[in-house]
Amino acid sequence: MAVLVAGGAGYIGSHMVDRLINDGYDVVVVDNLSTGHRQAINPKARFYEGDTRDSDFLDDVFSKEKIDAVIHMDAFSLVPESMKDPLKYFDNNVIGMIKLLESMKKAGIKYLVFSSTAATYGNPERIPIYEKDRKDPINPYGESKLIMEHIMKWVDEAYGIKFVALRYFNAAGAKEDGSIGEDHHPETHLIPIVLKVAAGQQDTMKIFGDDYDTPDGTNVRDYVHVLDLADAHILAMKYLEKGNPSNIFNLGSSTGFSNKQIIDAARKVTGKKIPTEIAPRRGGDPDTLVANSDKAREVLGWKPQFDNIDSIIKTAWTWKTKHPNGYEDK
């Protein structure tokens, strides 16, 4: 079976491609390398450099390759950046989705697995969050992904392109051998920044706000290992191939960790001190995001392998110690 991964050079995309190759799939990657890394792509995948907003480029790829299903991981995904530059997010994410679906329709491709996000919920009405709960994003990033979900729904109704949207909570960790991992420029995510401090590349860890409505005042998030996310996509493709209807699933561990708890866990895993300071709140951060992921477990048969935060941080630390400056070290 041939699978096209849009955004396959990115953090989650590169782990997805690696897992697909190891499972015996024929893999095609499209990526414009705006945030991804060519070195992150498993060399057994066929790589086309280009932008999903470019219809000619996509049509050309679909004419050269016989693709059975598309995994769409090609989006900008930084909450703070989206607050500063919403049009960048709506342009890249929403237009990219429209163009991809147009090209899939022309090529007759019927299955799409989409990387959605917990940011679609905004400040949730209850914890843990169920798929059906109110969706009221508090940042343009989450809004762009919610619009993308709506577009897929109507496209399915009209043209029968079936989709699974996977709402990730906080993706973290790396392939266990440390050969691929998270490398963003600039890095804004909690765990890689904590590990930068642990590695002595940054003096102190700024905690953005300690006056949230949470037990220790810092934001609570639900961390899920990147390889467990990859597994869920493979299960979602199988679900669609069996003729099941389009569907939406949360992907999280169902356990919340505060920012302070993550820093403590990183101290334990790395054996480093990790100095911290309290900084002002960052815009667009909901108090708490924790998933109920029962639906993915029951319907898709998803069984996350990394079920504790120490083991997730350990894999990110292995990547960090092997590649202190990310892919630049290769």
Q: What residues make contact with ligand UFG under the rule CB under 6 A? A: 77, 79, 117-119, 169-170, 188-190, 193, 206-208, 219, 221, 259, 282, 285, 289
Interatomic CA distance for residues 190 and 211, integer angstroms: 18
- Beta carbon nearer to ligand UFG, 145 or 175: 145
Structure tokens at 234: 């493979």
Provide the sign of the torsion angle of the four alpha carbons 157, 123, 191, 310, taken in this order. negative
Indicate which residue of 11, 121, 141, 223 is catalytic. Answer: 141
CB count, 10 Å around CB of 27?
A: 25
Residue of minimal Cβ distance to ligand UFG: 219
Give the residue ranges of DSSP H helices in 85-139: 86-89, 96-107
Q: Strand (E) positions, 181-246?
A: 205-208, 220-221, 223-225
- Beta carbon nearer to ligand UFG, 22 or 201: 201
121 vs 50, 118, 145, CA distance in Å?
Answer: 31, 6, 10
Phi, psi of 205 (to 5 degrees): -100, 120
The yes-or-no answer on residue 159 being catalytic is: no
**Which one-letter amino acid corresponds to residue 307?**
D
- Judge whether 30 and 61 are in contact, CB under 8 Å: yes
- Beta carbon nearer to ligand UFG, 162 or 225: 225
DSSP states along 295-315: HIIIII----S--SHHHHHHH
- Beta carbon nearer to ligand UFG, 132 or 242: 132
Smallest gap from Cβ 188 to ligand UFG, in A, equals: 5
Smallest gap from Cβ 171 to ligand UFG, in A, equals: 7
Write the CB contacts of 264 (distance below 8 Å, at least 6 apart in sequence). none
- Judge whether 27 and 230 are in contact, CB under 8 Å: no
Provide the 3-class DSSP secondary structure of residue 222.
coil
Q: Could you give the angle at which helices 259-270 and 309-322 cross, rounded to 10 degrees?
A: 60
Measured at the alpha carbon of residue 317, what is the angle toward residues 272 and 226, in degrees to the nearest 5? 140
Smallest gap from Cβ 193 to ligand UFG, in A, equals: 4
Smallest gap from Cβ 253 to ligand UFG, in A, equals: 12
- Beta carbon nearer to ligand UFG, 58 or 224: 224
- Beta carbon nearer to ligand UFG, 9 or 229: 229
Provide the 3-class DSSP secondary structure of residue 321.
helix
What residues act catalytically? 141
